[in-house]
Chains A and B, each alone.
Chain A
């Protein structure tokens, strides 16, 4: 099962390595990982999405709580949290396909943030489902590059 784990940590060097080391040391692959300071600049929030054996993951979370720089660990199951991801996607677009792509973007309430002669960059914020729906619609036009934040989550 996929888990979204939110870890509030002290904003210090080495903390991310300690946290991610607990995952990597037992062979968990991290699907996505986001780290940024919170409103309190001395704290950062790490949001990780990962898959792994349930019992191992549970152990891992309890070991995370023992790390001295970790302030709080939350394991979100579906429905407990609001989660979003921001994606920047550069898609091939010439004069013939451009309007169709813009139309798709509009339906998804995505923004066109850059326009070049042969491509455009779309910014989309949404849930996993919304992001993958948009990406699959853009696929036929030719996706050139993608950058995404990974899933962010906050407790309801």
Chain B
């Protein structure tokens, strides 16, 4: 989606700035792009930039305790606001620590600008101290990247980088700046517009009416239509259009995890989300559909399973801004290249103009209603707190109005199953890359972006430890991000696969002492002591293992006005269900 299309006819003038150092120019460029927060960890090659940041009061610089934490926080800031998230690190190890977040932003189409210091240009290629070829290293995981060899290029490069990060299909852009470029004194010229030789970079993608009318015609004939909505709905800010379109055409909607909240999950037309661990009814409906309209989605393997059997009886319409997604994993009968917001709103207009009346799909809706009734997301009660229950209680106590971040694993799925998302940008999770350790730093980024909202990281004890050092950031920077750890002392999702497919042989999936594994029934074996760790960081915490105390414990976490760690002790024996085993089909779905 173009947010800052500039008309060449207007000939806006470039602006000549006062003389300054390269690093000051970088800060000036960030201010001009509207950046108000940057997550940055200093080092020798980025020190100049930090000196310049120290001289401005327009940008809040947050010091994470690990570059990976900072970059995940920047990504979450972006996922929550839709604005470009910015992180910064020094050369070498600082830069390499950003790689996971850059890959994550690339997979999930998150607009992010990552700035790295680089060694003096005269040392490049000579294995200087803390030198890595970061430009070369990140080529496959960036939307675009720059190595700045001349300070005069800084204003243009920053303008381009922010434009590219947020336009079209968003993604990460890196800017690698050698120290001498940061130190160089020069007179910057700020361009008023961006120009690219690539026609793709500035193109506007609007589907022609003819194609959109075809979609409406297909809907009119359909007996079992389904709308399949992905993350594109959220990055294009098209959730209102999606709702209006679904209501107008009476289409049941299943989102992906990336699209969670893109359609209100409490809406009667919602089938929640589908895929490997998605709703049984969502999966069945997609499987048996005769018309599948995919909007802003990419037919990921966690959605389709065996692609040859995915929605085998459906005519597939695929609307996406990125033409390279069409026919990539699954052949579409009607591929449409378009900004999805445009396509949906234009289809609405066309439908109104043609006095479109939805087809009679009563039988289909009745079938879906039966499936919903018979197979909701569910879990068995236990004398212990089960992880699903903790999420359910959190949902009730927050009235569904919190921003939830997650790590990766079982808890990530349960968070999506038992919290319900009625609004976009509320479920913040590393989905394409599946990067453990995302949850807590993401909660920091989200809370900085939305201090008015409860932000809770629903995490696993494995994932949480991966970026546990960010508790220091929360404390020192005063960021009231909460963590609710569903602590089962195991790498639960891998354990689940071990149980299902590997005869329950434990291959390094126990996180504590194997001869004394902690559980709700063996509190002595619990490892580590998260409450004590939190205390060491100056963060409040509480452990809860009694079902009778769960509600009060969650309430205490919510009532705390600072960061908080709630350690919820749960059995490791729960499995995430339903489950479509990798590469299999809906028919192979495990329901228990």
Contact = CB atoms under 8 A, between A and B. Distances in A.
B58 interface: no
B197 interface: yes
Contacts of B324: 59, 62-63, 65-66
Contact of B197 (A43, A55, A63, A65): A43
B162 to A, nearest CB: 13
B200 interface: yes
B328 interface: yes
B164 A68 contact: yes
Given A62-B323, A63-B324, A66-B324, A21 B140 contact: yes
Contacts of B323: 62, 65
B107 to A, nearest CB: 14
Nearest to A8: B197
A42 B487 CA distance: 58
B140 A59 contact: no
A89 to B, nearest CB: 34
A14 B142 CA distance: 13
Interface string B410-422: 0000000000000
Best-surrounded residue of A25, A43, A62, A66 (most CB of chain B within 10 A): A66
Given A59-B324, A63-B324, A65-B324, A17 B136 contact: yes
A59 B328 contact: yes
A50 to B, nearest CB: 18
Given A71-B197, A71-B198, A66 B135 contact: no
A67 interface: yes
Interface in B123-170: 135-136, 139-140, 143-145, 147, 164
State which size class the interface on A falls in: 20 to 34
Contacts of B143: 68
Interface in B308-356: 322-324, 326-328
Central interface residue in B164, B200, B323, by most chain A CB within 10 Å: B200
B268 interface: no
Contacts of A72: 199
B144 A68 contact: yes
Given A10-B197, A58-B327, A68-B144, 13 more contacts: A14-B145, A14-B147, A17-B139, A21-B139, A42-B197, A65-B324, A66-B200, A66-B322, A66-B324, A68-B201, A69-B198, A70-B200, A71-B197
Contacts of B145: 14
B198 A67 contact: yes
Contacts of B196: 68
Nearest to B164: A68
Contacts of B139: 14, 17-18, 21
Interface residues of B, number: 21
A71 B147 CA distance: 20
14 contacts: A13-B147, A14-B135, A62-B324, A62-B326, A65-B200, A65-B323, A66-B200, A66-B322, A68-B144, A68-B164, A68-B196, A68-B200, A69-B198, A71-B198
Interface in A72-94: 72
B198 A25 contact: no
A77 B147 CA distance: 36
Closest 8 pairs (CB-CB, A-B): A62-B324, A68-B144, A63-B324, A71-B197, A21-B139, A68-B201, A68-B198, A10-B197
Nearest to A14: B135
A18 B146 CA distance: 12
A17 B198 CA distance: 17
A67 B145 CA distance: 10
Contacts of B136: 14, 17
Contacts of A17: 136, 139
A28 to B, nearest CB: 14
B147 A70 contact: no
Nearest to A67: B198
A17 B135 CA distance: 11
Nearest to A61: B324
